[in-house]
Structure 1
Amino acid sequence: MARRAIIFHGTNAQPGWIWYPWLADRLRTRGYDVETPHHPGTNVEPIASFLPTVLAAHTFSDDTVLVGHSGGAALLLALLEHLDVTVAQAVLVAGYSTHPNDGPEPVLQDAYDWEAIRSHARELVFVNSVTDEFGCDAEQGRAMFEKLGGTLVVRDDGHFISDTVEIVDRLIP
């Protein structure tokens, strides 16, 4: 079975923006079958009604790598909690598990089954920045790391909205 990657965009974003197409191309050259879906309901619709739509739209296996940015990273927490398989890797870029700012965050669940999340990813990587302008900062990354283990990478890259994010490419085998 071929290695697969699914890149989930952030809140009010699209798959053709910022570094998503760049990373997709990099992974394809390394033999990945890559999906970059557009889920406009990310962090707009309540997670309880949105999650079944996302789960039904994709196939997950032990060869799948999940990458999520911002609201897409928060979405990965709910996905991982409710999967019935263990994926190879989940990379949460500018992720968060609690309200990062004063805005609404319908992508967040009220509570998480941290053990279920941990059991559904062989490897977890959190990439956060000390200078994230939306509050998806290093403290958010540390909070998830403390609950789930894995690898925490702390940068000084704002909200990771450049055209390339070399660190993410280097973290995926």
Structure 2
Amino acid sequence: MSTIILAHAVETGPESLWYPYLRTALDGRAEVRIPALPAPGAPDPEAWLTALTAAARDTDPADTVLVGHSLGGVTLLRLLERHDTDRHGPYAGAVLVATPYKEVGYEALNPFFAPRFDWARIRRAARAFQVLVAADDPVLTPDPFDHARHYVTELGATATVRAAGGHFPIWSPDDVPTGLAFPEVTPLVTGLLPAAS
């Protein structure tokens, strides 16, 4: 069975937002792992990368799709950047949901973007990339389209841009909603599974 590994956003956890929906939607088709990344309210880049790497350690990259939401997507990019593609082969694919490619005005999160990404190395580490953004995303400043275009240019990603959707979704750290349906993400993930190719 294929494996899906989801890296959640800041101020969230495995049971937040649309993450349980994705697990349910893929039940029987893939094992969905959503590791609890440490200190989600005050994230540390190395701690998050260590936790995500541990979740992926025993998987077959060729049969694994990585999904990252917001800062989780940034951590996913770091995992791909460090992946030994020559030794282990590329991952089946990666889905980046509302993922910034550079700093977006949150000083505490700037360490996640340093040093600059090695885009060529990341591109080799996965067979295909999907990007999902919303035109009204208040986090992907100054222009959500710029973030999507960057992934298309650097990673050869296929971009899906919704007119509305915010940061999938917009949430407050004091009131993180759970159990949200998010059907748009499921076909992006299943389309990258080896059985779908």
TM-score (normalised: structure 2): 0.79
Structure 2 gap segments, 5+ residues each: 170-176, 191-197
Q: Are 2:103 and 1:99 equivalent residues in the alignment?
A: yes
Q: Which residue in 2 is equivalent to 1:148?
A: 155
- 1:20 is displaced (CA, Å) by 0.2
Task: Give the whole-Å Cα distance in 2 for the aligned partners of 1:168 and 1:120.
Answer: 21
- 1:35 is displaced (CA, Å) by 0.5
Q: Given that residues 7 and 37 in structure 1 are in contact (C-alpha distance below 8 angstroms), is that contact kept between their aligned partners in structure 2?
A: yes
Bigger RCO (CA 8 Å, 6+ sep): 2
Task: Give the whole-Å Cα distance in 2 for the aligned partners of 1:18 and 1:53.
Answer: 20
Structure showing greater Rg:
2
Gap change, CA 1:148 and 1:76, over 3 Å in 2: same
* Residue from 109, 115, 121 that aligns with 2:114: 109
- The worse-fitting range, judged by mean Cα deviation, of 103-112 and 70-79 is 103-112
Across the aligned residues of Structure 1 and Structure 2, the Cα RMSD in angstroms comes to: 2.0
Task: Give the whole-Å Cα distance in 2 for the aligned partners of 1:97 and 1:42.
Answer: 19
Gap change, CA 1:107 and 1:41, over 3 Å in 2: farther
Q: Given that residues 77 and 117 in structure 1 are in contact (C-alpha distance below 8 angstroms), is that contact kept between their aligned partners in structure 2?
A: yes
Q: Given that residues 38 and 47 in structure 2 are in contact (C-alpha distance below 8 angstroms), is that contact kept between their aligned partners in structure 1?
A: no
Task: Give the whole-Å Cα distance in 1 for the aligned partners of 2:24 and 2:42.
Answer: 28
Q: Given that residues 43 and 71 in structure 1 are in contact (C-alpha distance below 8 angstroms), is that contact kept between their aligned partners in structure 2?
A: no
Q: Given that residues 35 and 55 in structure 2 are in contact (C-alpha distance below 8 angstroms), is that contact kept between their aligned partners in structure 1?
A: no
**Aligned partner of 2:93: which letter?**
Q
Task: Give the whole-Å Cα distance in 2 for the aligned partners of 1:124 and 1:43.
Answer: 28
Kindly, what percent of the aligned residue pairs are identical?
Answer: 32
Q: Given that residues 124 and 150 in structure 1 are in contact (C-alpha distance below 8 angstroms), is that contact kept between their aligned partners in structure 2?
A: yes
SS at match of 2:95: strand
Q: Given that residues 4 and 65 in structure 1 are in contact (C-alpha distance below 8 angstroms), is that contact kept between their aligned partners in structure 2?
A: yes
Q: Are 2:79 and 1:79 equivalent residues in the alignment?
A: yes
SS at match of 1:28: coil
- 1:48 is displaced (CA, Å) by 4.3
- 1:125 is displaced (CA, Å) by 0.6
Structure 1 gap segments, 5+ residues each: none
- 1:110 is displaced (CA, Å) by 2.3
Task: Give the whole-Å Cα distance in 1 for the aligned partners of 2:42 and 2:80.
Answer: 19
**What aligned pairs does 1:24-43 form with structure 2 within 5 A after superposition?**
24-29=23-28, 31-41=29-39
Task: Give the whole-Å Cα distance in 2 for the aligned partners of 1:27 and 1:109.
Answer: 34
